[in-house]
Copies of this chain bind each other. A is one copy, B any other.
Amino acid sequence: MSIELTILGSSSATPIYDRFPSCQHLNMLDRHMLIDCGEGAQMQMRRYKLKKTRLHHIYISHVHADHILGLPGLLFSLNLQNRTEPLHLFAPDSLFEIIDLFFKHSDTTLRYELIRHVTQNHEKELLYEDSLIRVFSFPLYHRVPTTGFLFEENHHLKKLNVEACRRFHIPFTFYNDIKKGKDFVNPENGSVILNETLTYSNNLPLRYAYCSDTRFDERVIEEVMGVDMLYHESTFLHDKLARATETMHSTALEAATVAKEAKVKKLLIGHFSSRYDDLSVLLREARTLFNPTELATEGRRFSMDEFAQAENY
């Protein structure tokens, strides 16, 4: 699987109707990440059979209760499980201050290294890069400093056209070289098959953007332009626009506007106000403007794997 997103919580601050606050699990090319970490995150990971021990990164958008309260317990559990691998935590500096005070008063010393990355919300920033993925933060517009996150494949490797490779009887052992951009040279007769024949030309990296809590803002559209999948909060229906403005949240119609203007492929909406017992009203409103919208409800999994076949190699 190339990229799989699992929704662990998508309720706003008052958790009701068995909905948990914001938390998502993203498996991107075997990098296992949490995005926000609302209360109950570790219970939800267990429920959906996602191993805590495999976590590499945690990204926190802002320091509001419904986005962070699952974090100290999770960090503490990993300690009890004798984790020794480092864990990357990307968050505003105020979160680290809270965690440090908590660890001090609970007399906790982590056995593993917590690698601290302090985020800022003034401008887009590359937070993390390795051979397979890159992660950016970008400003959102909420009541406290808040960032969105953009996760993208890092294309050092091209995507194999497996069908073409099979047609030309390319041995598996050459697949890695071809993904690195090399032509195939037949070792037996020296004949050449050009790399462009064996890889996809439309080789754009898959991208997932996460906009946790934000007032509708056109600058967000620029940041998420053309992504394959966008999560955008939709706390209210548009008839509650005044309330959305006051609390610096967005409506379902506004989320759909961002998705449409940014020409994204798919929109997930979440961070639902507890006033909505039936979430389908939010889905319907968003779909009036942007049809490929889905509800980011607990337990749902969304894949971005149009090249899944190629990715198996």
Contact = CB atoms under 8 A, between A and B. Distances in A.
Interface of A: 13-16, 18, 20-21, 39-40, 42-43, 46-47, 63-66, 69-70, 72-73, 76-77, 80-81, 92, 94-95, 97-98, 101-102, 105-108, 143-144
A309 B176 CA distance: 79
Given A69-B73, A101-B98, A143 B107 contact: yes
A13 B94 CA distance: 25
Contact of A13 (B20, B76, B98): B76
A144 B97 CA distance: 20
Nearest to A274: B80
Question: What 4 A-B pairs come out closest when comparing CB atoms?
Answer: A94-B105, A65-B76, A39-B73, A63-B105
Report how many copies the assembly holds. 2
A271 B22 CA distance: 27
Contact of A46 (B13, B15, B47): B15
Nearest to A52: B14
Given A14-B81, A107-B143, A107-B144, A21 B73 contact: yes
A105 B101 CA distance: 13
Contacts of A92: 105
B43 A77 contact: no
Nearest to A16: B46
A66 B98 CA distance: 16
Contacts of A102: 63, 65, 98
Contacts of A47: 18
Contacts of A69: 39, 69-70, 72-73
A105 B47 CA distance: 31
A115 to B, nearest CB: 20
Contact of A39 (B14, B46, B70, B95): B70
B14 A77 contact: yes
